[in-house]
Amino acid sequence: MIKFLENAVFGARALILTILAVVTVFGLYFAFQLKMTAGFDKQLPIGHEYIKTFQQYRDQLFGSNRIIVVLEPKSGTIWNKDFFKTYKNLTDDIFFLPGISRPTVTSLWTPNTRYVEITEDGISAEDVISGKVTADTMTPQALTKIESNVIRGGFVGRLVSNDFTAAMVSAELQDFDPSTGQKLDYFDLASKLEKQIREKYENDRYTVRIIGFAKSIGDIAAGAKGVVAFFAVAFLLTALSVYLYSRSMLLTFATLFASLTSVVWQFALLNLLGYGLDPLAVLVPFLVFAIGVSHGVQQINLVTASISAGATSEEAARESFSGLLVPGSMALTTTIVGFGTLYLIPVAMIRELAITASIGVALKIITNLIMLPLVVSYFKFDDGFVARVTKARDTRLKLMRILGNVANPRTSILVLCVSLVLFGIAVYESRNRHVGALHAGTPELREDSRYNEDSRNIASKFSLGLNLLTVVVETPPDACVDYPTLNYLNRFSWYMENVPGVTLVVSLPFAVKSSNAGWNEGNLKWQDIPRNKDALAQAVQTVPGASALMNQSCTLLPHLIFLKDAKATTIATAVAAVKKFRAENKMEGVNLRLASGNMGVQAAVNEEISQSELPMMLWVYVVIVALVTITYRDWRAVIACCLPLTFATFLGYWFMEVLQIGLTVATLPVMVLAVGIGVDYAFYIYNRIQYHLAEGRNITECFKLALLETGMATVFTAITLAIGVSTWAFSALKFQADMGLLLTFMFMINMIMAVTVLPALAVVLDMVFPRRLPVKARKNAMAH
């Protein structure tokens, strides 16, 4: 079959290359039209319990997609005329930004900020800043009144910092721009926040701090533009390494051109299918490129081996095509399935990533296994090249002969024992690996980034911030004036306020207690929920901002739980506490539902990744087992190919635990890719082992010969790719730096496993379960 395909492909090589060239030209046109896209809804796990709650009450509850802007004097407090004039202008400018839900804009200047107090004359409810006061006419007496209103209204820690050195403006975002009716351009909004807000108001007197999804995704996109520079460095290092290996500019060009061609086709197809490139998936094209280089080097390795043995360019290309078509196709198919399993996670952003990566890898079958050998078949090599490549190969073969001693029986047993010990330690150490962010702030950005600096500052000065987990409480009608219900929810609020990581709980029961004390001259003895229905109705009626704590029919009483940070452990602790209280304290007719708020969304994403990780890996291994079984029809081959991958995967988890890298949307594809790269190494080496086994040689000799043929290409590819991605460690984006470190480790550890553990396993299995050679192989063995 392979011989037939070889003759068919090379017989029409001019036609095939012409068609591929035309496709590439058209692909370039569409590839350059691909745009970076982002959206809040792309983060939502479809069908998850928390997201069903979020979607059901999306129009009634807020806090999931919010921006917060804080104005902070560089010296002194906020209680002066100049600050409030600047603060007023800042509020107005935020009001008119695209995508802002204007009714939700909240600051001391907005009419939705009111305070309520009980006086000897009755209930007094006023705006914190009276409508009669303007920024230009503000007097010292007005400032004193505003300060008093802020304190009495309970806005300290909410809109005004605890130390009176900053004030906040917050607003909800809509996923579409009301002024245009189009989908909200988050990158444009992030740019406006920077240019029209920060640059306008930040000076030698004031600091402006901005946090929220729109700002973080904008900062990530800005950092992603710098990714191009790291790609360029990695590309140049790869090009230099391939040249040093092949000793030919033509072969270097062909290898890199084939890998880049598939990336161009990938971008074109994504554009035609209506997809964009998410900032968090910006590294995927390079991963696809890296896979192409891995397969390309294997092709070049066989080509140079054939040419140094006296073959012509076409003969060498044909041998490379036929020799690598099966293991290359198997490896790429496994990688496609690996990336395809990401689609099991019902998050639109991850599914887009799965489609992006799978398309890119599938195209490698054409560009690297077919196009590259066809291009090489037209090259002409002089005697000088043959001499250079022969000398280089002789040096490499000496190194491979030394490494081949791994397959000696005694050495194999030692290698396997050491590997099993390391595997046991890795399994034990990685048992506590975390899903989600392990550091405060936005995990995709570095700790010292402006966004994370702003986030820490706001968290330290305000009791509430961006990290909001909303528990939706469904109740019977008029529950807000039902003492048993409010008492039950009061116990829930108190329970949650004492959970580690929770900074503040805002709920109707807590507000009612304060209101009731107000009706009784502020006496703290009365700071409780009235049992009398009329007294309870009176207390509820005067709760400030009650619309955020209950709906009109009193069937929805949301509890707003503010967390100190967005760490996975903080979120998981709060969610577990809600579930525990719900399970141990049931009340008929009252339903505590998780969850809304941006931390509710993040909790859903973390849970989906955690639940999907094992099924994904199992599907990848099912495909590997099936392909190895069908191709080699030997259970020993299945174990020899799969166990080294398993070892490498758990060593990778251990590495993540040591460096405190959580399993996130950014790092999950790396672990899937690691399995794909490991399969490349395993298949290429085992394919040659199986070939020599069929000739009747023993397993030790087979591995030594396989190492001479493909070992150096495997080692070289791993080192080259590891050096290229290691430069990412210096990126301004933390998720790129984490991926660079993780990829560097996984490239190297998979290579080490392939050239040590794989042969050791094969030798030990052959010692314990000697294989029965087929008749032809037995005759070949006798001939040897």
pLDDT in tens, 528-574: 898 888 888 888 887 766 667 888 888 889 998 988 888 888 899 99
Q: Is the pLDDT of residue 595 over 70?
A: yes
CA triplet 618, 623, 628: central angle to 5 degrees? 125
Q: What is the pLDDT of residue 775?
A: 46
Determine contact, residues 608/702, Cβ cutoff 8 Å.
Answer: no
Provide the whole-model pTM. 0.77
Is residue 418 very low, low, confident or very high in pLDDT (cuts 50, 70, 90)?
very high
CA distance linking residue 102 with residue 97, whole number of Å: 9
125: left (phi over 0), alpha (psi -120 to 50) or beta: beta
Whether the CB-CB separation of 71 and 136 falls below 8 Å is answered with: no
Return the pLDDT at 327: 82
- Residue located via tokens 């129009």: 59
* Greatest pairwise CA separation for the chain in angstroms: 113
H or E stretch covering 607: helix 597-632
What does the DSSP assignment read for 292-321? HHHHHHHHHHHHHHHHHTT--HHHHHHHHH
413: tokens are 């047993």
pLDDT, average across residues 742-770: 86
Cβ-based burial of 174 (10 A; exposed 0-12, middle 13-18, buried ≥19): middle
As a whole number of angstroms, the distance between CA 455 and CA 68 comes to 10
Calpha distance 338→352 (Å, rounded): 14
The H or E element that residue 122 is part of is strand 122-127
Where residue 777 falls among pLDDT bands split at 50, 70, 90?
Answer: very low
Running DSSP on this structure, what letter comes out for residue 130?
-
**Residue 97, pLDDT above cutoff 80:** yes
Judge if the upstream peptide bond of residue 539 is cis by omega within 30 degrees of 0.
Answer: no
CB 600 within 8 A of CB 64: yes
Dist. CA 484–CA 527, nearest whole Å: 17
- Summarised one tens digit per residue, pLDDT across range 679-729 is 777 877 888 888 888 777 888 888 888 888 787 778 887 887 788 778 878
Mean pLDDT of 663-674: 73
In the predicted model, is pLDDT for residue 779 greater than 60?
Answer: no
